[in-house]
Structure 1
Amino acid sequence: MQQVRIVNAAKALPKYSRDTKDILPFVEFWLGGQEERFRRKVIKIFEGASVDRRYGIMDIEEVFTATSFQEKNDIYVREMKTLGRTALQNAFKAQGWAPDSLDYIITVSCTGIMIPSLDAYLINDLGLRQDVVRLPVTEMGCAAGVSGLIYATNFLRSNPNKRAAVVAVESPTATFQLNDFSMANMVSAAIFGDGAACVLLSSEEENVGPAIIGEEMYHFEDATHLMGFDLTNTGLKMILDPAVPEVISAHFGAIVHPFLKKYGSSIEKVNHLIFHPGGRKIVQTVDELFGNLGKSIEDTREVLRAFGNMSSVTVLYVLERFLEKKLEKGEQGLVLSFGPGFSAQRVLLEW
């Protein structure tokens, strides 16, 4: 079987950013017409979200300005092209790859709508080959960054001496609903931020980087109601069931242990957890489950604190942190993310 390696990861951030403490006055003004108890509860959600700073494709005043779905989506399309291009360029430059050496490009996003998809614009902007294979991954939410890694791995396993890029770009800010005072909208506003990432993978023998030992998806039955978006006249309205951490906890053993066993590993052999920081409660849940097994998810916490949850992008920021570490040969890492469906995506790495 052809060995596939992750050779590089790079990120790109929007030009706007603010500390959470500087966002709170805008939140308080926005909630001015709501009852006092509700306002206090929402402010506590923001203060307790474990997000110190987040980035956005719009300045904060624009986020809290009433606009149409079309106006928000126009900003999304414009900025996703810029962020996607920057992330892919940064990865190419760091790895020394020429754009026309790429064989397969996967673009990942769920927080807006654009047809043609982002990959078509990247082909033109960066001069990718006319025969490059392209795959846009949409509607898979937070899990889609790992989904992209799985699709790239499957392609590269079947094709020796090839190169692939996974480019994830997200703007949850563009989905913020100004007139939605549901808890789902409050929680998502408190935890989400915007960003982009690119991961390069290769089936060339001379490349270095962690090898992908195994990859699988896990689909929860009858759980489509837990997470997603409703498409409304004002945009994409967040669906976020408070039962998500509990459901993850109930399925945790079935998600992790059979997968590791299938690929000749076990939780004892896994040195690092490269986990998607979905939010404070999900991080706490997984931290307790893995903490009991002697594993740390400090890098996940750090990415959530510094950037917020950028949907599909976020786990790739955690992955980048591990790629920058000097890990020993033979050390293993489990990449894990959850998303709409409800689903869990898993990739086992070995350095």
Structure 2
Amino acid sequence: MATAYVNQISTAVPALDCHDMFIEYAPELIEERGKMLLFKRMAERAHINHRWSSVEDPAGFYGNNPSAVDTETRMVEYEDKAPKLAQKAVEGLNLGDAADEITHLVLVTCTGFYSPGIDYDLIKNCGISPNVDRTQIGFMGCFAGITGLKTANNIVRANPEAKVLLVSVELCSVHLQKPKSLESMLSFLIFGDGCAAAIISAEATGLELDSFKQVMVPDTRDLITWRIGNEGFDMVLSGKVPGQLGKALNPENLKLILAGRTPADIDLWAIHPGGRTILDAVENALELEPDALAVSRHVLENYGNMSSATVLFVLAEMMKQAAEGGPRGLGSAMAFGPGLTAETMLFRL
């Protein structure tokens, strides 16, 4: 059975850096002074400097009451902007005539839907064969980037001649609403837009995919939820998530995730930067050195949380650093989402 490799990853974000803009705008959405002051403290502690938005005119799109924008309007914006961002990421792979060699296209997204969808647009605009085998992974949340890699891994292991294009595109910013709670304030503060495109094949270059394990944390169903409402998609991100993740990374689960190894055996940690407290919880639970999650913190600082695409941004940065003489070795990737679910992967760089 063939071994699968991530040969390359290309990333793309929209042109508008919205983070500081949002921090200035958010107090207008918060009626209670106490909550406004709390939001400002949260913003200072988020360790995010940049987030990127596909909504080119936020004031015109959201107005004084973003909750007044209905879901249909948001999906029109998604259908306009998401395929363009996905195409930008695919073009970053510089496939040229080799685009016609793509045998499988795996699309991951949870922030919008239309059909024919982004996969159709990529085939039309990126030189991909119309006979390509297409799979869409939808609405699974932040851990779905690793689910996409797992799907590509299964395809290559079953068919060594396969060449898989994985595209994870998320437009979180189209779902901005008026904050209803502390949890919603937090989600609007950390989420941004981004896309990652990757080539996975049996060609032995890049990042070798090893094994995948999924862990569901008992009695945590309501801590992260993602539902379609009349005012966009409604995100709940409970402040209890970091603590529960810390508990979930216990010796029994780690033995499963790390295939019998210990954290000391892992050279590289590609942890989904769902937020600063998520990274802190993982670092503390695994008793890691302060710089062990430096790449994840770098991605959080410069992009925020881009849902499923984020962990691919982390892996892309690791591959870039390795190409420049940086760290290599055995790695563990983890991403977290609704369930509460941890999707994990071992890899070698």
TM-score (norm 2): 0.92
Shift of 1:19: 4.3
In structure 1, the partner of 2:295 is: 299
In structure 2, the partner of 1:119 is: 119
SS in 1 for 2:274: coil
Q: CA RMSD in A?
A: 2.0
In structure 2, the partner of 1:27 is: 26
Aligned counterpart in structure 2 of residue 41 of structure 1, from 25, 38, 41: 38
Aligned counterpart in structure 2 of residue 289 of structure 1, from 269, 281, 285: 285
SS in 2 for 1:53: coil
In structure 1, the partner of 2:157 is: 157
Stretches of structure 2 that go unaligned for 5 or more consecutive residues are: none
Name the amino acid aligned to 2:308.
S
Correspondence 1:192-341 to 2 at 5 A: 192-204=191-203, 207-253=204-250, 254-261=252-259, 265-292=261-288, 296-326=292-322, 331-341=329-339
Q: Is the 8 A contact 1:176 1:185 kept in 2?
A: no
Q: Is the 8 A contact 1:118 1:136 kept in 2?
A: no
Structure 2 CA distance for partners of 1:241 and 1:19, relative to 1, 3 Å: closer
Aligned equivalents of 1:255 and 1:194: distance in 2?
Answer: 31
Shift of 1:107: 0.7
Shift of 1:258: 2.0
Identity rate, percent = 26
**Cα deviation digits, residues 67-124 of structure 1 (max 9, x gap):** 2221111111111110111111212x0x666211101111111112222332122112
Aligned equivalents of 2:159 and 2:200: distance in 1?
Answer: 12
SS in 2 for 1:324: helix
Structure 2 CA distance for partners of 1:194 and 1:63, relative to 1, 3 Å: farther
TM-score (norm 1): 0.91
State which drifts further: 64-73 or 290-299.
290-299
Q: Is the 8 A contact 1:290 1:296 kept in 2?
A: no
How many residues get paired? Answer: 341
Aligned equivalents of 1:313 and 1:292: distance in 2?
Answer: 24
Shift of 1:11: 0.7
Stretches of structure 1 that go unaligned for 5 or more consecutive residues are: none
Aligned equivalents of 2:290 and 2:266: distance in 1?
Answer: 10
Q: Is the 8 A contact 1:30 1:64 kept in 2?
A: no
- Aligned: 1:182 with 2:181: yes
**Cα deviation digits, residues 31-66 of structure 1 (max 9, x gap):** 2xx121121112222222111111001133245424
Aligned equivalents of 2:40 and 2:97: distance in 1?
Answer: 46
Shift of 1:294: 7.6
Aligned equivalents of 2:331 and 2:84: distance in 1?
Answer: 31
Aligned equivalents of 1:270 and 1:64: distance in 2?
Answer: 45
Q: Is the 8 A contact 2:249 2:286 kept in 1?
A: no
**Cα deviation digits, residues 225-245 of structure 1 (max 9, x gap):** 121223221111111122111
Shift of 1:290: 3.2
Aligned equivalents of 2:8 and 2:256: distance in 1?
Answer: 29
Shift of 1:182: 1.4
Aligned equivalents of 1:36 and 1:292: distance in 2?
Answer: 38
Shift of 1:175: 1.3
Aligned equivalents of 1:4 and 1:328: distance in 2?
Answer: 22
Shift of 1:329: 9.6
Aligned equivalents of 1:288 and 1:164: distance in 2?
Answer: 36
Aligned equivalents of 2:249 and 2:335: distance in 1?
Answer: 12
Aligned equivalents of 1:266 and 1:328: distance in 2?
Answer: 23
